[in-house]
Amino acid sequence: QENGYEKIDYVFKVVVIGDSAVGKSQLLSRFTKNEFCFDSKSTIGVEFQTRTVTIKGKVIKAQIWDTAGQERYRAVTSAYYRGALGAMLVYDITKRPSFDHVARWVEELRAHADNSIVITLIGNKADLVDLRVVPTEDAIEFAEEQGLFFSETSALSGDNVDTAFFKLLEEIYGVIS
Ligand code: GDP
Ligand code: MG
């Protein structure tokens, strides 16, 4: 399979989930296009975006899926999770309910996704230091209990976004290779 200039060794489907307004779409556009859009609307109709990266000498096309507003209606379907090798489960460090709902999203993943799916918990909007209500320690504790990877990111500044996605993709590569 060719993308014009390099051979693709693997395609990894990754789903981004979590409550509405936590920054899922912005994380996706930061990772795939290095963009942050200040007047973003929900991206109805756009199913996924891709970025091709090299991990351990293999060319991997990351296909990152966005819920595109479905999370408002709790209508994320099992088709969304089908074939996903990884998940980014995002909450907003300034919105306690978005963290309280993370357990429910993990249940959703366990119910609909493959057993071997690699999950990263993401505390986004880390740039909003004065508005933080979710302590990092709470998230680390939850992630350890549930066997999830964990990072805090800012889609706005770009802090940790690539690192978090690369870590997830490397772990997926470890699972499938
Ligand atoms: P989604 O509903 O989870 O896809 O959330 P969006 O990506 O649409 O973002 C929701 C709102 O949060 C928008 O107003 C974004 O500009 C804002 N936002 C997203 N990520 C960040 C971030 O890292 N820092 C800050 N300060 N705002 C963010
Ligand atoms: Mg969105």
Task: Give backbone dihedrals phi and psi of 119, rounded to 5 degrees, phi first.
Answer: -115, 130
When the pLDDT of each residue in the chain is averaged and rounded to a whole number, the result is 91
* Measured CA distances, 77 to 43, 93, 108 (Å): 17, 26, 10
Q: Is any ligand 1 atom within 6 A of the Cβ of residue 128? A: yes
Per DSSP, the three-state class of 86 is strand
Q: What is the pTM of this model?
A: 0.93
Closest ligand 1 atom to residue 40 Cα is: 8
Q: Please tell me if the CB atom of residue 170 comes closer than 6 angstroms to any atom of ligand 1.
A: no
- Identify the pLDDT of residue 166: 98
Evaluate if residue 173 carries a pLDDT over 80: yes
* Ligand 2 center to 157 CA (angstroms): 18
Distance between CA 79 and CA 60 in Å, rounded? 22
Mutate to test the pocket of ligand 1, among 20, 22, 26 (most ligand atoms within 8 A of CB): 26
Q: Which atom of ligand 1 is nearest to the CA of 126?
A: 23
Q: Is the pLDDT reported for residue 77 higher than 80?
A: no
Q: What is the ipTM of this complex?
A: 0.99
**The pLDDT of residue 59 is above 90:** yes
H helices of the chain, in order, are: 24-33, 78-81, 96-100, 102-112, 136-146, 161-176
Cα 170 to Cα 129: distance, rounded to the nearest angstrom: 29
pLDDT of residue 1 exceeding 50, the answer is no
Q: Write out pLDDT tens, residues 118-146.
A: 999 999 999 999 999 999 999 999 999 99
Please tell me which residue, 47 or 72, carries the higher pLDDT value.
47
DSSP 3-state of 65: strand
Residue nearest to atom 20 of ligand 1 (CA): 23
pLDDT band at 38 (very low <50, low <70, confident <90, very high): confident
Closest ligand 1 atom, CA of 37? Answer: 16
Per-residue pLDDT for 4 more than 80?
A: no
Q: Using a 6 Å cutoff on CB, does residue 9 contact ligand 1?
A: no
What's the rounded Cα separation, in Å, for the pair 35 and 146? 31
Residues 21, 25, 31, 34: what is their CA dihedral angle, to the nearest 10 degrees?
A: -100
40 pLDDT higher than 70: no
- The predicted model gives 154-172 an average pLDDT of 98
Q: Average of pLDDT values for 31-41?
A: 82
Which secondary-structure segment (H or E) carries 88? Answer: strand 86-92
